[in-house]
Structure 1
Amino acid sequence: MGGALRASAAVPAAVKARQHVAVDPARLQSLQQAFLDLRFGMFIHLNMATFEEREWGDPTLSPKLFDPKHLDTDQWAQAAKSANMGYACLTTKHHDGFCLWPTKTGSANVMQSSFPHDVVRRYVDSFRKAGLKVCLYFSILDLRQDIRARTVTPEKIALIKAQLTELLTNYGPLTALILDGWNASWSRISYAELPYREIYDLVKSLQPDCLLTDHNAGSYPGTALYYTDIKQYEQHAGQKIPPGSPVPSQSGTTLQSDWFWKKAYPTSELASAKTIVEEWLVPFNENHCNLILNVAPNRDGRFDDNAVARLAEIGRLWKNTGPAPKIGRSVTITTPDLAAGKPAWASASDEAVGPDQAFDDNFRSYWLADRGKDDAWIEVRFDGPVSFNTLSIVEPLHAEGYGDASRITAYKVEVERDGAWTELVAGTTPAPYQFHEIERTTARRVRLSVKGRQPGITEFGIYDEPR
């Protein structure tokens, strides 16, 4: 072990200022469709926690504890093939900050362990040899380097970028990079404190065809891609795909009871093949969603016999039947909400919930028009002219006290110029969620007007997306 950022001098080459990387929407949609066509994947949680009977490794323990002395990544790949999986994802660094590759950034890694071998290299080589696509998992939260909420510094961001640069340049093409421990209620490292777009641009500059996926589905509506190319549901934590979801998604859960291996696993009960195939995999695939099933290697670095047998049983019940249902184009939000936290006004507020609730970057709160009102507006006012090209309007369906049916029958967005209001967009079809991409517009005041039966808005988002 060592102190945080003890080798920060090795970092700067990875963090030169970058321009926003242009992402072609048609190309992105093609990559998302190709990912969905893989249908079924394997998550592999192997790290310090494997040797600790824990789900998060203790960041104070010595790397010497890590010792998968009979590591067999070929066995993993063949087990994935037996289940008719199309891809896999390995935890290169979990929340405690131990790296499964020989990083040059000074972080604790495999070369300081009792098994001084590049585990990431062995994994990617075995799975590619078996004809499977390769993804990597990386935790933004890093307890060894003290990268946590309210402690993020430019040096820590540089460390993250340097480590991601190593993974994206040394291990060949990745189908997806799955991020975790970022903008979650339990990690609290926000996209403001550690800017999402900086990481997104880095990934796309190094591997344009690598999909970036963040574990943030619990924070944003299910009908849009906020800060992710593939919406990532943690089924194991109770996150559920909304019926009829239009966006490309992935749902993660476990074959064993938890993510990392436990001493009871060789004889413990596993999720049944019937449940995995009939209740998860097939319905998810019909809903634009892959299933990624975690299988935890034991302390020898191998899958237990019962896990191998269960995967083969899954393969006998399910075959990859070809291309997944087609998706349409999804608008992806990758920049901060310019309206978040800005001064807000409403047409009336004697009984209503305040308009600031629609500008707080929180999809669990909402503004509500006054009782008996069927025509109301909310407005955000900026200190100076602000340019934007994307709008999101989200109604608080299913929220407590609001109900499951849309109350909005019409809406419009206007900007104030020279004392007059100019309409930007409008709609008349009831819909709980609206995205509008517009020509870049500059304004100081932006107003959303809604009609309906005491309508409400959970978030009125204003973004300036690179394109």
Structure 2
Amino acid sequence: MKLLTLSVALSATSLLFSCASKHVEAPQPVYPIPEAKQVEWQKMETYAFIHFGLNTFNDREWGYGDSDPKTFNPKKLDCEQWAQTLVKAGMKGVILTAKHHDGFCLWPFEGTEYSVKNSPWKDGKGNVVKELAEACRKYGLKFAVYLSPWDRHQANYGTPEYLPYFYAQLRDLLTNYGDVFEVWFDGANGGDGWYGGAKDMRTIDRKNYYNYPKIYEMLDSIQPQAIVFSDGGPGCRWVGNENGFAGATNWSFLRKGEVYPGYPRYYELQYGHEDGNQWVAAECDVSIRPGWFYHPEEDSLVKTPEQLVDLYYRSVGHNATLLLNFPVDRNGLIHPIDSANAVKFHEMILQELKTNLVAGMTPKVSNERGGDFVASALTDDNFDTYWATEDSVTTADIEFTFPKAQRMNRMLLQEYIPLGQRVKSFVVEYKDGDQWLPVRMNEETTTIGYKRLLRFESVNSTAIRIRITDSRGPLCLSSIGVYDAGEKADEGVAATTRKIESLPFTLAEVDKEEAVKASDKDEKTVCMVKGDKILIDLGSEQMISSFHYLPNQDRTAGGMALTYELRVGNEPTAVNKLVKSGEFSNIINNPILQSVYFTPVKARYFEFRAPRIQGAEKVLGIAEVGVCK
């Protein structure tokens, strides 16, 4: 009896030791790593921007701060219509431009008269911020605010006296409208335009003027869950363009303290800093229309569902988030074209990624850490479970085999980013007979991060594998998906270039070979003119009423006209009648077609002069130009 008891005891002890030996430690983090709120923010993936204000009613992008508040009168404004539209379009939240650069406040801020309280809308008793915050709570959207640090209405902008005013606006928005998921600080914050309504130039120290450390302390004390957006974060970063895409190589890191609002090497932000020591993932902001605010003439230029799908793959699918702007119209509604296209875009994404062909499968892997970190975690539809390799293993193969050939053309890959971003390069291959061949795609396979979505030419195969060829540490992958997006999956996205239908013209005093580039309907060819002006000869006197200028699309090349003066005349030596002057707002970040309309006038010669040009040299860059009736 004693021997039996001893035997049972030994067996139990042996079982305990056996169980204990199966415990496997999780991989150590590879720094930098995100805060928990940054992970939750990236899981939102797509959310909306709303640009709305005095600019909407005065046909401007960057108002000077001199538009009359009485022009703001959205008689049908319905924030619930906004929220319902965004939910149907798959958006998880919305960021409202509570105050843009013109200084007009969409809420009755006590510190200024330049707000909705002095508009005819709701007899001055309306509050757009409040109405949208309430609509978001009703329809399950997260809410956030954009507050422009730059203020072209405040005469004391650029002086120390402006800062308490700006801080008070921020505190008001953060205190009285519930939780916000993000606070958006625009990189356009002085040094490149007019201020104070008086159109006087004023330059600020972009890096230090606002005292951002003080602002971050305020945010942490009032809205600790909020992500802070700016060129350099610290919560998330601008992607370096307003076209809506990140680089295929996209690290979620920046070198701490190096990037600031107005950072001159903004093009780095599209890719991140591989050697960065701070987690600052990218946000891709883009408007569904060419402009950020509503302009009736852009009703025919809304991005198509297919174009939005392309941007989704190049933003969310490139380890970033997609912030899609909706310019609310003058009725106070999201325009039906914008709404229809956005909803269709969401439906198309859901359809393309509807069925994961490897769901529930356990792939064959070349290495496995064991314990909880096994290959089955890759297909269990749970972000918080993940497959990992042993500490010394930084390369691996992951192979899926099907009982019969499958058509495949999409793939999803996710790293478990709470432990860091690791993968530096990988390849995707399919089996053709006894051979493994690479799938064909139009981008490099380098980083993964939170999410990588791949589009490749359709293959029919019984097996597909991912070969991770380099990494910053042992591998930690959360999810893999393989999809068939349908028969049209291999079709390209239609081109979006807008053509200028100009009157016939020649460019006087410009080399003929160079001049033809300004009217060849090809935005990739750029006419570079020494100096700050061009003279357009229409050949004979014509009635004209508009001028159109597409800048060079390479923002690093310089030569973009920042301001303009337009003059006409009937003799080449006397083109001196000024018909319009102003600025091309936000042109460097959003180099879209610039259209200037003026009172119709008869003239043969038309002069376009750019008093301020991007870059140190006086060279004017023109992709396309035209003068129209």
TM value normalised by structure 1: 0.58
Cα offsets for 1:116-149 (capped at 9, x unmatched) = 200001111112211111111110000111354x
**Aligned equivalent of 1:138, options 128, 147, 152:** 147
Amino acid in structure 2 at the alignment position of 1:273:
P
Q: Within 5 Å, give how 1:51-200 maps onto structure 2.
A: 51-115=57-121, 116=124, 117-146=126-155, 148=157, 151-153=158-160, 155-181=161-187, 186=192, 189=204, 190-200=206-216
Asked whether the 8 Å contact 1:152–1:194 carries over to 2, the reply is no
1:271 aligns with 2:287: no
Measure, in 2, the Cα distance between the counterparts of 1:26 and 1:53: 44
Q: Within 5 Å, give how 1:200-239 maps onto structure 2.
A: 200-214=216-230, 216=231, 226-233=232-239, 235-236=241-242
Q: Within 5 Å, give how 1:412-451 maps onto structure 2.
A: none
**Aligned equivalent of 1:310, options 333, 336, 341:** 341
Any unmatched runs of 5+ in structure 2?
1-30, 194-202, 253-279, 355-380, 384-413, 422-555, 558-629
Asked whether the 8 Å contact 2:105–2:115 carries over to 1, the reply is yes
Asked whether the 8 Å contact 1:255–1:294 carries over to 2, the reply is yes
The number of residue pairs the alignment matches comes to 294
Measure, in 2, the Cα distance between the counterparts of 1:298 and 1:135: 20
1:256 aligns with 2:263: no
Any unmatched runs of 5+ in structure 1?
1-24, 217-225, 332-398, 401-467
SS in structure 1 opposite 2:347?
A: helix
Measure, in 1, the Cα distance between the counterparts of 2:128 and 2:81: 14
Asked whether the 8 Å contact 2:47–2:322 carries over to 1, the reply is yes
Asked whether the 8 Å contact 1:245–1:287 carries over to 2, the reply is no
Asked whether the 8 Å contact 2:89–2:346 carries over to 1, the reply is yes
The residue number in structure 2 matching 1:300 is: 331
Asked whether the 8 Å contact 1:286–1:325 carries over to 2, the reply is no
Q: Within 5 Å, give how 1:275-286 maps onto structure 2.
A: 275-277=307-309, 279-286=310-317
Measure, in 2, the Cα distance between the counterparts of 1:74 and 1:280: 26
Asked whether the 8 Å contact 1:83–1:311 carries over to 2, the reply is yes
SS in structure 1 opposite 2:184?
A: strand
Asked whether the 8 Å contact 2:48–2:86 carries over to 1, the reply is yes
Cα offsets for 1:184-243 (capped at 9, x unmatched) = 7636641222211111111111111111111x2xxxxxxxxx342101225326885461
SS in structure 2 opposite 1:212?
A: strand
Amino acid in structure 2 at the alignment position of 1:261:
Y
Cα offsets for 1:279-338 (capped at 9, x unmatched) = 22123223321111111111110111111111121121124998675435789xxxxxxx
Q: Which deviates the most, 82-91 or 244-253?
A: 244-253
The residue number in structure 2 matching 1:396 is: none
Asked whether the 8 Å contact 2:283–2:321 carries over to 1, the reply is yes
Asked whether the 8 Å contact 1:49–1:58 carries over to 2, the reply is no
Measure, in 2, the Cα distance between the counterparts of 1:146 and 1:327: 46
Measure, in 2, the Cα distance between the counterparts of 1:158 and 1:262: 34
Asked whether the 8 Å contact 1:95–1:142 carries over to 2, the reply is yes
Measure, in 2, the Cα distance between the counterparts of 1:175 and 1:102: 22
Task: Pick closer, same or farther for the CA change 1:238–1:270 going to 2, 3 Å.
Answer: closer
Asked whether the 8 Å contact 1:288–1:327 carries over to 2, the reply is no
1:29 aligns with 2:23: no
Amino acid in structure 2 at the alignment position of 1:102:
P
Task: Pick closer, same or farther for the CA change 1:254–1:238 going to 2, 3 Å.
Answer: closer
Cα offsets for 1:395-426 (capped at 9, x unmatched) = xxxx99xxxxxxxxxxxxxxxxxxxxxxxxxx
The residue number in structure 2 matching 1:327 is: 417
Asked whether the 8 Å contact 1:97–1:145 carries over to 2, the reply is yes
Task: Pick closer, same or farther for the CA change 1:192–1:207 going to 2, 3 Å.
Answer: same
1:42 aligns with 2:48: yes
Task: Pick closer, same or farther for the CA change 1:251–1:285 going to 2, 3 Å.
Answer: same
SS in structure 2 opposite 1:44?
A: strand
SS in structure 1 opposite 2:296?
A: coil
Measure, in 2, the Cα distance between the counterparts of 1:185 and 1:330: 37
Asked whether the 8 Å contact 1:183–1:191 carries over to 2, the reply is no
Amino acid in structure 1 at the alignment position of 2:228:
L
Measure, in 1, the Cα distance between the counterparts of 2:243 and 2:151: 21
Asked whether the 8 Å contact 1:147–1:156 carries over to 2, the reply is yes
Measure, in 1, the Cα distance between the counterparts of 2:334 and 2:92: 18
Amino acid in structure 2 at the alignment position of 1:313:
K
After superposition, the CA RMSD in angstroms is 2.8
SS in structure 2 opposite 1:180?
A: coil
Amino acid in structure 2 at the alignment position of 1:152:
T
Task: Pick closer, same or farther for the CA change 1:102–1:330 going to 2, 3 Å.
Answer: farther
Measure, in 2, the Cα distance between the counterparts of 1:291 and 1:184: 26
Task: Pick closer, same or farther for the CA change 1:273–1:237 going to 2, 3 Å.
Answer: closer
Task: Pick closer, same or farther for the CA change 1:87–1:325 going to 2, 3 Å.
Answer: farther
Q: Which deviates the most, 316-325 or 203-212?
A: 316-325
Amino acid in structure 1 at the alignment position of 2:78:
D
Measure, in 1, the Cα distance between the counterparts of 2:191 and 2:34: 28
TM value normalised by structure 2: 0.44
SS in structure 2 opposite 1:264?
A: helix
The residue number in structure 1 matching 2:518 is: none
Which structure is larger by alpha-carbon Rg, 1 or 2?
Answer: 2
Amino acid in structure 2 at the alignment position of 1:193:
Y
Measure, in 2, the Cα distance between the counterparts of 1:243 and 1:235: 15
Asked whether the 8 Å contact 2:242–2:286 carries over to 1, the reply is yes
Measure, in 2, the Cα distance between the counterparts of 1:272 and 1:42: 16
Cα offsets for 1:330-383 (capped at 9, x unmatched) = 89xxxxxxxxxxxxxxxxxxxxxxxxxxxxxxxxxxxxxxxxxxxxxxxxxxxx
